[in-house]
Amino acid sequence: MLLDRQTVYLLLGSNLGERRQLITDAIDYLEKEVGVVKGISSFYETAAWGKEDQPSFLNIAVEVETRFPAEEVLEKILSIEKELGRIRHEKWGARLIDIDLILYGNEIIDIPGRLQVPHPQMQYRKFVLVPLTEIAGNVVHPVLGVEISEILKSLADNLPVIKV
């Protein structure tokens, strides 16, 4: 089902294999499967979050204009992850590619065990907010009612996030 155009923000990350190439390949798939890629942040090197005994991540934020509903976007990004070799072994474990749906327009979606938008942890994670602020700093978080750049300014997370 196609809808009116909607702006979606995604966070892409990789900490295994050819990280930059995997992320670039994921962007190509997003363009083919999800919609028009309108913005891409710089690449950021970040220490692993949640499970620290693993390689560091390369992360970027991507803005995509889509006509698919949020659940269909989720299905498509899960399919892209699988196509690029992701196998889900453990929560927060090392991975070839990770694509998280961070924002879907200004919608609030809560399908228990399936999809929560805005991403329920985004406001606590510097590795999400730094690249997202670069491309969407003035976007307002639909639940908190605050711009993304303002959330970043008040963030307690001191995890290093380094532009590379």
Catalytic residues: 86, 95, 98, 100
Q: What is the DSSP letter of 140?
A: B
d(CA 48, CA 154): 21
Helix or strand run (H / E) with residue 69: none
Q: What is the DSSP letter of 94?
A: -
d(CA 146, CA 74): 25
Question: What sign for the dihedral angle of Cα 118, 66, 127, 111?
Answer: positive
What lies within 8 Å, CB to CB, of 82 at 6+ separation is none
Task: Give CA angle at 47 (43, 48), nearest 5°.
Answer: 110
d(CA 67, CA 1): 8
